[in-house]
Amino acid sequence: MKLVWYRRDLRTIDHSALNYALATGEFVSAVYIATPEQWKRHQMSPMQADLIRRRLTKLCDELSQLNIPLYYMEVNTFDESIGAVKDIASAIEANEVLVNTEYEWNEQQRDQAMGFELASAGISFREFHDKCLMSPGEVLNRQGCYFKVFTPFQKTWRQLFRTPQVIPAVKAGVQTPSRIFTQRLFSENVSFSYPCEPSDAWTVDTDVINQRLRDFCRDKVSSYHQLRDFPAGDNTSVLSPYLAIGALSARQCVAALYAESDGGGLSQGAESWLNELIWREFYQHLIVFEPALCRGVCFHRWGEQLHWKFDEEAFTRWKEGMTGYPVVDAAMRQLKHTGWMHNRLRMIVASFLTKDLHISWRHGEDYFMSRLIDGDYASNNGGWQWSASTGCDGQPYFRIFNPVTQGQKFDPEGRFIRQWIPELKDVPDRWCHEPWKMPSVSSLLYPSPIVDHQTERKITLAIYQAAKEGQVYVS
């Protein structure tokens, strides 16, 4: 008997651990362990928790069609999940537990302990690299070291890349009732002891998810490089929530991209989207080689010398979308209400928090994880440290996003802004990005700018310069 332990890989298509188990010809079972206290420590968003709960119901149905029962338990932490998996493996007489590797520090420590615990019971533990198209350690420089800059990583990745095959699962043998630990079988009535917010706007149906992938690769990807930065339009794939919980694999994404190219080369837009998937891989590889990133450490050690200040009121206004800068506020309101934010906007609001309000990127990182339906530790950490200029291949600290000109460039007509800030719906285009300059501004129920960008920009340059020179910033 093989037991497949599901974590953030909630699919049956193109699932490395599951396919290996099925290929053995033995009976196969699956298990999912909910760990609400661990989720709390990791700031999992209630909306993502709900998406996982709903997706498990679909996964259970798909596994059932393959003659695979899905067991379920809820414990508090990763440490307790070790005993839970061992108990189920022993109860169903499994000889091996199979997992797809997770690269974060806590997850790595859990799986190492899991291997020792299972070995003591005479049960094997096998891991598969499944989250990336190329696993950490495959993409190295000529000296055999990991890349600290994205561009050479990307070039080497592309040299090594081969178009992936997506492998569907096959049916397992029908199990006899005596082998089924019925008390722990998953039920669609399962609910988590964790706060959930409705995720109904996001489908959990495999066929619909895969169709959205195909539709994007067929209809939208060719113009992706031209339109991806404009949040008012439907120009991106919006597939990140499914990658985050593993309802969709990176291999499926790339295979669909090449399938729609009809055997020819990728379009410029397709190349641009592929590049985003490579960025995802870059950050996943990074936390393996620099596990301290999972403990809140800046990639560049000089970043620890930065002079941050935490203003509770300013942080709250940023979270609530009340900074007085329309593009920042519209983005933050989108996040609060939908659990998702357009990628260009993520960079804008992150730059504003760290370089206009001078609040540590760690506060923004935590808040994003607590709200994002597509929260993924490596990508979130990488994005925040990139914006704060403390990360691997981060933007130079002297490049500071201007929240006014960013809005004017990427939402020129204010369509996105008006969608999320009804207070500005009647403001003429001329004043949409700078409503405080409007002659009748006193009649607006919208706040004045929380800070002056040009003033804060000068302060930021001084703070970063002092940190890089090992000096203490004095305001």
Distances (CA, A) of 348 to 5, 241, 351, 365: 38, 21, 5, 14
Active site residue 279: yes
> 237 among the known binding-site residues?
yes
**Catalytic residue among 5, 202, 318, 384, which?**
384
Rounded CA gap, 257 and 213, in Å?
9
Neighbours of 84 (CB within 10 A): 20
> 224 among the known binding-site residues?
yes
> 8 among the known binding-site residues?
no
> 282 among the known binding-site residues?
yes
> 18 among the known binding-site residues?
no
**Catalytic residue among 343, 423, 434, 456, which?**
343
Query: Nearest-CA neighbor of 274 among 216, 346, 340?
Result: 216
> 249 among the known binding-site residues?
no
**Catalytic residue among 39, 157, 202, 279, which?**
279
> 464 among the known binding-site residues?
no
Active site residue 361: yes
Neighbours of 295 (CB within 10 A): 8
Rounded CA gap, 173 and 116, in Å?
29
> 325 among the known binding-site residues?
no
Backbone angles phi, psi at 28, to 5 degrees: -130, 135
Active site residue 343: yes
> 277 among the known binding-site residues?
yes
> 367 among the known binding-site residues?
no
Active site residue 39: no
Rounded CA gap, 231 and 365, in Å?
21
Query: Nearest-CA neighbor of 351 among 464, 437, 436?
Result: 464
Rounded CA gap, 416 and 348, in Å?
14
Angle in degrees, 0-180, between the axes of helices 343-355 and 361-371, rounded to the nearest 10:
140
Query: Nearest-CA neighbor of 106 among 38, 45, 55?
Result: 38
> 313 among the known binding-site residues?
no
> 133 among the known binding-site residues?
no
**Catalytic residue among 275, 308, 402, 423, which?**
308
> 239 among the known binding-site residues?
yes
Tokens of 228: 């991806």
> 374 among the known binding-site residues?
yes
**Catalytic residue among 361, 386, 420, 431, which?**
361
> 37 among the known binding-site residues?
no
> 251 among the known binding-site residues?
no
CB 374 within 8 Å of CB 201: no
> 238 among the known binding-site residues?
yes
> 240 among the known binding-site residues?
yes
Q: Which long-range contacts (CB under 8 A, 24 or more apart) does 227-233 make?
A: 228/272, 228/343, 228/344, 229/344, 229/410, 230/344, 230/410, 230/411, 231/331, 231/342, 231/344, 231/345, 231/410, 231/411, 231/416, 232/411, 232/413, 232/415, 232/416, 232/419
DSSP classification of residue 298:
-
Rounded CA gap, 402 and 294, in Å?
30
Known binding-site residue numbers: 224, 236-240, 273, 276-283, 374-376
Catalytic residue ranges: 276, 279, 308, 343, 361, 384
Annotated binding site for FAD: 224, 236-240, 273, 276-283, 374-376
